[in-house]
Amino acid sequence: MRVLVTGAASGIGRATVLRLARDAQARGTKAMVAAVDIGPSPGLDGVIEESRKLGADALPLHGDLAAAEVPARVVDEAVRRFGGLDGLVSNAGLNRPGALMTYDVRDWDHIFAVNTRATWLLAKAAHPALKAARGAIVATGSMSGSNPHANLGAYGPSKAAVIMLVQVLAQEMAPDGIRVNAVSPGMVRTGMTEPVYRDARLAAERDALVPVGRVATPEDIADVIAFLLGPDARYVNGHDLVVDGGVSGNFLGRLPGINSIPRG
């Protein structure tokens, strides 16, 4: 499988690259993975080295996806190296929290450029190769794209836009044999959120909020991305698959005193 993964140096992107490499190795084939991140880093070097040890043809690519020309460039480099593409994982994202009444328009535009516009431009650039391969696209959304959260600034709106963008792309690209889906994680222990989990009390409180009893690892999300890219998801299109352990549906279960209400 020939796949381009953005935000590949850490977290969900890194776990996805390694999952694809392991799956190909188990099938006796070679994964061809373009691992994209904003620039050279020990994290990107590490995932390239690990995936190559798993037999993958791993291509490191650099570029700031906030720049409008970068998505097409990295797609072109991957297609030239691999002779095509079977999958695209638009995973790169960032968050700059803040109250909307005091939010800076530059932060708003930057968040939307990386979290939302890049997914559109990547899909647009990859369309010819994915059409030829009858491939698939997976974009990383968020439970924050479906559930409002104060003081997240542009993050929640940008992820809501990603989810709708995926649904529109799915309608437009399906006639060309391309499936497009989103994965919306709940709480995940990534590099961006790790400072929270260094506090053992906060980590335990977060685990307790999740019905399955723990916050997700990047591998929990990567496994679902691999499924959506693969043949077992051949009839899944335009879907936002929430992968949150049930936390976003557990509002009523967290109401104080809910278990003390007398039976009628």
Q: Which residues are catalytic?
A: 155
At residue 216, the 3 state secondary structure works out as strand
- Residue 92 exposed, middle or buried by CB count within 10 Å (0-12, 13-18, 19+): buried
CA–CA gap between residue 42 and residue 149 (Å, rounded) = 33
Which tokens hold the place of 46? Answer: 């590490």
Backbone angles phi, psi at 152, to 5 degrees: -95, 0
CA–CA gap between residue 2 and residue 5 (Å, rounded) = 10
Q: Which helix (H) or strand (E) holds 201?
A: helix 200-209
Q: Are 57 and 33 in contact (CB under 8 A)?
A: yes
Q: Tabulate helix, strand, coil % of the chain (nearest 5).
A: 50, 15, 35
